[in-house]
């Protein structure tokens, strides 16, 4: 039996785009919170993550990564703030599972 791969999640994103979410949407807030916690663990000087609401793309999904269900995929741009300085936008991907639980938040420099 083949295990699903992350590529399938991104295929679902492309085929099932929905309107952008507001930055204060609970799913976006959850992604921001967990992402900020993870970033601070690696770099304590990070003080905030600012999500660009106009860049958000969200997709309903019904897939799995290994044994973990993925129900929503959010992709967008985020600005990582260190002290009083906000850098260039980073892309982020956030996978949300059952009951709105964040499975993964990933940031990458453009």
pLDDT for residue 97: 96
Kindly state the percentage of the chain with pLDDT values over 90.
Answer: 68
Residues forming beta bridges with residue 108, ordered by sequence position:
91
pLDDT for residue 15: 42
pTM above 0.95?
A: no
The answer on pLDDT for 70 being more than 80 is yes
Can you tell me the mean pLDDT for 12-28?
59
Q: Of 18, 26, 80, whose CA–CA distance to 52 is shortest?
A: 80
Cβ(65)–Cβ(95) below 8 Å: yes
Q: How confident is the model at residue 79 (pLDDT cuts 50, 70, 90)?
A: very high
SS3 6: helix
The answer on pLDDT for 1 being more than 50 is no
Q: What is the mean pLDDT of the chain?
A: 83
Q: What is the rounded CA–CA span in Å between residue 5 and residue 81?
A: 32
User: For residue 80, which phi and psi values (nearest 5 degrees)?
Assistant: -95, 125
Find tokens 């993925």 and name the residue: 70
What's the pLDDT tens digit per position in 23-49? 578 899 999 999 999 999 999 999 999
Can you tell me the mean pLDDT for 39-68?
93
């Amino acid at each position: 039996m083949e295990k699903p791969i992350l590529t399938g999640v991104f295929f679902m994103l492309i085929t099932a785009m929905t309107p952008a979410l507001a930055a204060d949407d609970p799913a976006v807030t959850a992604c921001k919170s967990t992402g900020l916690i993870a970033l601070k663990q690696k770099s304590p000087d990070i003080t905030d993550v600012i999500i660009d609401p106009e860049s958000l793309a969200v997709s309903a999904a019904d897939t799995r990564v290994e044994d973990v269900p993925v129900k929503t995929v959010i992709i967008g741009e985020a600005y990582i703030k260190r002290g009083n300085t906000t850098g260039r936008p980073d892309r982020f991907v956030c996978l949300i599972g059952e009951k709105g639980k964040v499975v993964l938040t990933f940031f990458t420099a453009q």
